[in-house]
Amino acid sequence: MTALSEGSDAEAGGRVPLDADRIKQLEFIQATVARLGTNSFLVKGWSLTLAAGLLALSAGRFSWQLATVGVVPLLCFWYLDCFFLRQERAYRRLYDDARRPGSTVEVLSMDVGPYLARMPWPEVWLTPTLLLFYTPLLLADLAVVVLTR
């Protein structure tokens, strides 16, 4: 007899297969994580486009006021990107807990509240990916403010 006829490979390895509802929950969580990643990518695109446009316009007109105004949307985009990253991390932790057989996560639950409570904003705000993207844009904007004054 083969291993499949005696039992699945998962059962033979000591793992219990997940039921259909749990698998569907994991698919929902994966879809949410993918949407959050897409949103984060779009926010970065918009922030880069807006920052470059405002920097070019303010440098061309030697307007420190316009450059100063450019800081506000940049910080707003940084916050929004931080929000999406924080949510994505929370859903990844939910996924990690829900994938385990015998998990205490309620089946088909998408509640990430307990994970968000253990993830402070500064931890996400100061991640290397966000810092490496938004800090140069902010510094360039502030440099235009100083140089056009």
Domain edges within the chain:
16-147
Residue 33: name the closest of 131, 115, 100 by CA: 115
Q: Which residue has the higher pLDDT, 142 or 6?
A: 142
Exposure of 29 in the CB half-sphere (CA atoms within 13 A): 25
Please give the pLDDT value at position 14: 60
Q: How far apart are CA 33 and CA 27, in angstroms?
A: 10
Q: pLDDT per residue over 111-148, tens digit each?
A: 999 999 999 998 999 999 999 999 999 999 999 999 88
